Amino acid sequence: MSRQVDPARSRSGFGDSRRARGFLAEADELLGREVLSSPVSVELITQAPDPDAAALGILRTIEALDEKGQRRFASAVDEYSNFLPRLSHLAGTSDVSVDHFVRRPEAVFLLAAENQTLLLGTEAAEPARLRAHLFEAIGADPAAEAPVASVTGEDAVVALRQAYRDLLVQLTCDDLGSLFANEIVCDVSALLADMAAAAIDAALAVARAETDDAETVRLAVIAMGKCGARELNYVSDVDVVYCWASADSGEPDSGDQDSDHGAQARRLAELDESGARTATKLAHRLAEVIAGYAPEPPLWEVDAALRPEGKNGPLVRKLEEFEHYYENIAHNWEFQALLKARPIAGDRDLGTAWFETLNPHVWTASARPGFIDEVRRMRIRVVDLIPAKEAKRQIKLGAGGLRDVEFSAQLLQLVHGRDDEAIRVTNTLELLDRLGARGYISSEDAADLSEFYRFLRTVEHRLQIPRMRRTALLPTQEKKMRALSRSVYALGDRSPQRLQEERESRSRRIRALHEQIFYRPILEAAAGHGAISRLSAESARERLSAFGYRDPKSAMKHIQALTTGVSRAAMVQKQVLPALLDWFSRGVDPDAGLLAFRRLSESLSTSTWYVKMLRDSGVAAKSMAHVLSLSSFATELLLRNPSAVSWLDDQSRLQLREPEDIEAQLRGIVDRHGHEAVPAVRARYSREVLRIALSDILGIADRRDIPKQLATLMDTAIDATVRAVRAGLDADAEVGKYEFAIIAMGRLGGAEIGYFSDADVMFAFRSLEKNLDADARSTLSSHVRRVALEVTNQLGSAGPSRPIEIDADLRPEGKKGPLVRSLDSYAGYYDKWSEPWEAQALLRARPIAGEQTLRDAFTELIDPLRYPDEVPESSLRQMRRLKARMESERLPRGADPNRHLKLGRGSLSDVEWTVQLLQMQHAADNPHLRTTETLAALDALLAAGEVGAEDAEILSEAWLLATGVRSAVTLFRGRTAAALPADSAELEATARLLDYEPGCGQDLFDDYLGATRRARKVMERLFYDFDEEQAGSHAHAANRGHVADPDEFARGYSRRF
């Protein structure tokens, strides 16, 4: 790749030659002689990351000096060979450092030393020396048990901050002047953490001097996060928690043994309250000294938000309060935050006691079910929250950034640190070294991650140094990017292109390692050798268990089977399994996903396209892992139709087919195969159900369309089967011409079926022959019954394809009535014997198979019955009584009415019966209400003004949610579902299939209860004709479980009606 010319390497050495040389000339004029304009000085200054900024910064520094200082400056340039290079690098990188020199001019002479480094690696950098330096600035004795500053107020704040910045400019010079910044970055971070600890301890000494009764309490400051791990940035909030105790550890004198124990308890409580107030004042003042308003700018924020209960909790706590919180209340992520905790200031004994008491909780908590999964979800959420326009420039939080390295290391530490104390360290680089040395990852991976981490931390530091602002975004301005690259690289190619290319290549490698580092060693352990990682089989099983595999022993066997041998499939599976194992673990049932993958791969291992897809299509492999670990239903269909896996590599093949196309395909099958076509019809039906399921699971299809798509597919398959059966049976039957039709009822009639719905139907026929005698009518009746039975048997029989269970129990007279009736028989029955509930059931009647003329005739027959001119009050009462009795009698014993999807309060039947009652009352006058579909009817009722907009929305929301839950549970379980799952894993799977974020199963539960509670209230008002207050009280009581006896609930309705 061609390189752009770097302006900083131009002949003049400056981006803006005239302006920069003018700065140096002005500086020399102040110095009284040529010091900075000489060729030697110019050459040194042009080596700075931003030579123009360096020239301006040097001029500003000299302007701030008095005449004596300016003479000293000129002498320093002559006497100390490092002075001008250090100042040039600092001024050419950090405006904030120049600002410090302007406010405190004498600080520039801290750079005038011949030592190779000013602070880094010197005795002055030792924690005790840093503490002594800052304590000296505020007049405190570092050897005192509880140091108290002699300098207070604004003077103390300014003195402390200036002393800290004196250290900071020296460290920044050492860092910028290093030829190999990556090698010292961890030392720089550790020193920054030690400086922060010393500053907080000094700030506490100031707070003690200014706070009444400070001597009555002991306060320990515990660093969390990067400061706790001694890997602090130049600019970062210092996360802390505060632990306090009374300075008097003895018990108060009880005096007379017979004294009032209540008074003593009150006295102890008062002392406790007083001590907490004092400790809180100390903590507040400490933070103000560090970051509050003063003439000297703040250092950084002291952030106590990681304390128990966050910002809502007390700022300070006693040790026993911390212990109680972490034992009984804390969330999983709070234990992860404890990983890096370290006492840094205040009372040492109390800080040590805090650490020794709470650190063990990290390792007991990490064994909790779901702990690792929750930690991983938090990482995903962090990445998802990054604005899209920043993602490619984010070196810290984004994919392939610093957090990925830290997260990988911490996750392995949480998994294996329970049993291996050797990896219980806080620092990321030290942890990576130990993980490699102990065999939890390969030494090569550990070295790579360490190298990449050092590089990215160096870049992050260089981003922060200019203004000492917290940022991890690469700049968009060319000039800033050029200065950044020149500050990162001291030698060789210092161009922005090099920085971009190196950062992108390393980020790609980090992403790859992040995806594979947890599972690649498991493959080696499963194979029985650990030449790379040396991970034991026991540790491999432990890791799998931590990542959600419930049967790690079987999982190891599956992994071994998939990767054993030298076949092309085995080699490819070795490559992709680390990523697949990770994706499986992000599902709800990783064990099922792995087992299904093994079965699928065994059936397709000789298929070149499959092996190629695994190797080359990350999207297809990830989609497959998602399906296999989340849906038993789709998995079983895939195992029956393994070639359908290829659809995952082309989303256009997962788009739902048009009904006309499917109908044409099935018609062609029947035309070709005649009476033998049903197996092929069922095979096509199964493949299309699978296509719908995959589109549903992967979020390709609109979930609202799924029930109708399934119903349309079932309609078409039943119609094709009728034609195939009749092609075989009619040929040899001497019955004359006749018409045969199937009428869909129930959910199929409403085009609202799920993945496991039966086909509720009625069979009808009509002879086209005139003047049939009794024998001919009997023969025809027997024949059409045989057709109906054959259709039922051929669609419902066991086999490799999905069955369609035909259920004709909703026919007139139920199981006692004839299976098939003539159109005239239906007319006679409905004229003489029909009950109101049958008219209601006919609202869902929809002819789906057979001759169109008979379908139309049947619809014409039943329309007056289901859309009557007037609904008698007696029929309304009967409908209401039947509904109340159904709630009492049909709800399974022990079932929770708040969870039951069909018969529960505010669920499917509540919405559907409400809509159906209104249809019967108004459809005679409104043709738009003559539909079998619930939501279409509800929309028509809204348009007609029969239902208010808010009521319609409430009913629709509850119906859609219950329908979605029903389908989602079926997809996960692989069998039909009656209720919202009580099992947490099933509820989580259901939520994910409904597009909730991982870990939001409880949110689905809350949403469902809220939606059905609102729907029940509307239903009671519209269906039972309750007034607003009655409906509200019934729905509220039902939702809270106050109506414990459904029979009594039903009797109350029955008495009313």
pLDDT in tens, 949-962: 999 999 999 999 99
Average pLDDT over residues 583-612: 92
Q: Is the pLDDT of residue 760 over 70?
A: yes
Domain count within the chain: 5
Nearest Cα to 585, choosing from 559, 548, 550, 621?
A: 548
Q: What is the pLDDT of residues 724-750, one digit of tens each?
A: 999 999 988 889 999 999 999 999 999
Full DSSP string of 28-41: HHHHTS-SSSSHHH
CA distances from 337 to 237, 326, 333, 358, 461 (A): 15, 12, 6, 12, 23
Specify the range with the lowest mean pLDDT, choosing from 16-30, 215-229, 795-809.
16-30
- Axis-axis angle for helices 552-563, 568-586 (nearest 10): 150
Residue where a domain stops, chosen among 338, 365, 392 = 365
Q: Assess contact for 871 and 888: CB atoms under 8 A.
A: no
Beta-carbon count within 10 A of 307 CB: 25
Q: Is residue 694 part of a domain?
A: yes
Please tell me whether residues 130 and 108 are part of one structural domain: no
**pLDDT score at 1041:** 40
Confidence band of 164 (pLDDT split at 50, 70, 90)? very high
Q: Rounded to the nearest 5 degrees, what angle is found at the Cα of 514, between the Cα atoms of 512 and 518? A: 115
Confidence band of 1036 (pLDDT split at 50, 70, 90)? very low
Please tell me whether residues 296 and 405 are part of one structural domain: no
Average pLDDT over residues 24-53: 93
Q: Is residue 254 part of a domain?
A: no
Mean pLDDT of the chain, nearest integer: 90
**pLDDT score at 384:** 76
Beta-carbon count within 10 A of 171 CB: 21
Please tell me whether residues 385 and 360 are part of one structural domain: no
Locate all alpha helices (DSSP H) within 923-975, ordered by sequence.
Answer: 934-944, 949-973
Q: What is the CATH number of the domain that holds 408?
A: 1.20.120.330
What 3-state DSSP class applies to 452? helix
**pLDDT score at 1034:** 52
Q: Is residue 538 part of a domain?
A: no
Stated pTM of the model: 0.75
Tell me the residue range of the domain where 23 lies: 7-114
Locate all alpha helices (DSSP H) within 395-547, ordered by sequence.
Answer: 402-416, 428-437, 443-464, 478-488, 496-516, 520-527, 537-546
Q: What is the pLDDT of residues 1011-1029, one digit of tens each?
A: 999 999 999 999 998 876 6
Q: Is residue 345 part of a domain?
A: yes
Rounded-to-integer distance, Cα 748 and Cα 716, Å: 12
Please tell me whether residues 1010 and 891 are part of one structural domain: yes
Q: What is the pLDDT of residues 182-232, one digit of tens each?
A: 999 999 999 999 999 999 999 999 999 999 999 999 999 999 999 999 999
Residue where a domain stops, chosen among 842, 864, 886 = 864
Beta-carbon count within 10 A of 293 CB: 9
Please tell me whether residues 805 and 817 are part of one structural domain: yes
Q: Is the pLDDT of residue 110 over 50?
A: yes
Rounded-to-integer distance, Cα 155 and Cα 558, Å: 69
Q: Assess contact for 486 and 475: CB atoms under 8 A.
A: no
Q: Is residue 789 part of a domain?
A: yes
Rounded-to-integer distance, Cα 482 and Cα 5, Å: 11
Q: Is the pLDDT of residue 909 over 80?
A: yes
What's the burial of 949, exposed, middle or buried (CB within 10 Å: 0-12/13-18/19+)? exposed
Rounded-to-integer distance, Cα 669 and Cα 665, Å: 6
Please tell me whether residues 794 and 893 are part of one structural domain: no
Q: What is the CATH number of the domain that holds 789?
A: 3.30.460.10
Q: Is the pLDDT of residue 595 over 80?
A: yes
What's the burial of 872, exposed, middle or buried (CB within 10 Å: 0-12/13-18/19+)? exposed
Residue with tokens 């690098």: 89
Residue where a domain stops, chosen among 484, 517, 550 = 517
Q: Assess contact for 451 and 80: CB atoms under 8 A.
A: no
Tokens of 158: 């300014």
**pLDDT score at 916:** 97
**pLDDT score at 1030:** 59
Nearest Cα to 113, choosing from 160, 80, 143?
A: 80
Q: What is the pLDDT of residues 531-564, one digit of tens each?
A: 444 678 888 888 888 888 999 999 999 999 998 8
Q: Is the pLDDT of residue 1031 over 80?
A: no
Which residues 6+ apart lie within 8 Å of 168 measured at CB? 97, 100, 195, 234
Amino acid at 644: A
**pLDDT score at 407:** 87
Q: Is the pLDDT of residue 643 over 90?
A: yes
Q: Is the pLDDT of residue 529 over 70?
A: no
Please tell me whether residues 793 and 932 are part of one structural domain: no
Please tell me whether residues 997 and 974 are part of one structural domain: yes
Q: Is residue 164 part of a domain?
A: yes
Q: Is residue 524 part of a domain?
A: no
Please tell me whether residues 450 and 499 are part of one structural domain: yes
Locate all alpha helices (DSSP H) within 237-331, ordered by sequence.
Answer: 261-291, 319-328
Please tell me whether residues 181 and 192 are part of one structural domain: yes
Q: Is the pLDDT of residue 1053 over 50?
A: no
Dihedral sign (CA 644, 650, 653, 654): positive
Provide, rounded to the nearest whole percent, the portion of the chain with pLDDT above 90: 69
Please tell me whether residues 823 and 880 are part of one structural domain: no
Tokens of 704: 């609202």
Which residues 6+ apart lie within 8 Å of 773 measured at CB? none
Q: What is the pLDDT of residues 286-343, one digit of tens each?
A: 999 999 999 999 999 999 999 999 999 999 999 999 999 999 999 888 888 899 999 9
Q: Is residue 459 part of a domain?
A: yes
**pLDDT score at 382:** 77
Please tell me whether residues 829 and 871 are part of one structural domain: no
Tokens of 92: 């050419």
Which residues 6+ apart lie within 8 Å of 369 measured at CB? none
Q: Is the pLDDT of residue 708 over 50?
A: yes
Rounded-to-integer distance, Cα 198 and Cα 133, Å: 9
